[in-house]
Amino acid sequence: MTRAREAVASDFLRKALAAKAVGVPQLDMMARAAGLLGERQSITQAKVFRRAKNSLDIRSIRDGFGAGGGWAWELPRRSEEREPCASSVIPQSMERLLPREWVQGVARLDQNRPPADVPRHRWRQFVDDCNAFLNSPEADRAAQLGWNTMQLFGCKPRYHLSYLGEAGLLWHVNGGKIIELHRTWAVIDDPVNRSQGVFYRRDIAKERLMLPWTLPL
């Protein structure tokens, strides 16, 4: 029965998103009209739609910003002219594009030796997030789009978690996953709170920040 429901949901999404991306509220209304959602349900919370979304490689994209902004779902496009999404597969040969500083710096991070101002559990999560990032297509994409080392890994010299507003992208992942990466912003999925947040790339003077592998222990 579950597979049959997922097939119906997949067919619905293929047709609904065939021409263009569609906002989540509109998809909710369409799915309710088709009898696939309850009155108070949303496709973002319905397991059958989430599984169908993953199986079809549908991505979430930001539809406007601020109070009037929201999220839309979009099917992957075949056109070569379209900018590749963050989840697109990058050939292994492109791994050489990763800056050596990123690879060697993250390799120096020791999960069991946190800086004085970072709790051990938070530091371990940060190191895990850094390693997961380097092993993902998003790292290659970040290099292509011009993200620099400080914008990804930088932090304040002291009380690092108190100044996350000036910290790099990886300090904001905190056990989540970077699901989209663009030239000036990224989308982070938080599975614990079932929410998504947007991180904006910052250009902060290097003398105000440090890299995590140079922090005093």
The per-residue pLDDT string of the chain (217 residues; one tens digit each, 9 = 90 and over) reads 567 888 888 999 999 998 888 888 888 888 888 888 888 788 888 888 888 898 898 988 866 554 455 788 888 865 433 444 433 333 443 334 689 999 999 999 998 999 988 999 999 999 999 999 998 889 999 999 999 999 999 999 988 888 898 999 999 999 999 999 999 999 999 877 778 899 999 887 778 899 999 998 7
129, part of any domain: yes
Q: Are residues 108 and 65 in the same domain?
A: no
Closest to 214 in 3D by CA, of 143, 160, 157, 152: 157
Residues 63 and 128 in one domain: no
With respect to residue 83, please indicate whether it lies within any of the assigned structural domains.
no
Is residue 87 assigned to a domain?
Answer: no
Domain-ending residue, one of 27, 47, 74: 74
Does 98 lie in the same domain as 65? no
| Residue 165, both tokens | 């507003």
Q: Which of 158, 140, 162, 142 has its CA nearest to residue 150?
A: 142
Distance CA 86, CA 1 (A): 33
Tokens of 143: 């290099």
Per the CB < 8 A criterion, the answer to whether 187 and 62 are in contact is yes
Beta bridge partners of 59: 74
* Contact predicate 179/138, CB 8 Å: no
185 and 155 in one domain? yes
**Do 126 and 46 share a domain, yes or no?**
no
Q: What is the domain range of residue 156?
A: 92-214
Do 167 and 101 lie in a common domain? yes
Domain count, the chain: 2
Judge if 163 and 101 occupy the same domain: yes
* Contact predicate 175/212, CB 8 Å: no
Shared domain for 18 and 119, answered yes or no, is no
Q: Are residues 102 and 196 located together in one domain of the fold?
A: yes
- Within-domain flag for 120: yes
Helix (H, G, I), strand (E, B) or coil at 34: coil
- Amino acid letter, 202: R
CA 85 to each of CA 12, 44, 76: distance values in angstroms, whole numbers, following the listed order: 22, 20, 8
Asked if residue 130 belongs to a domain, the reply is yes
Q: At residue 64, what is the residue type? A: G
195 within a domain of the structure (yes/no)? yes
Q: What is this structure's pTM?
A: 0.56
State whether 24 and 127 are in the same domain: no
Measured CA to CA, the distance from residue 161 to residue 75 in angstroms comes to 37
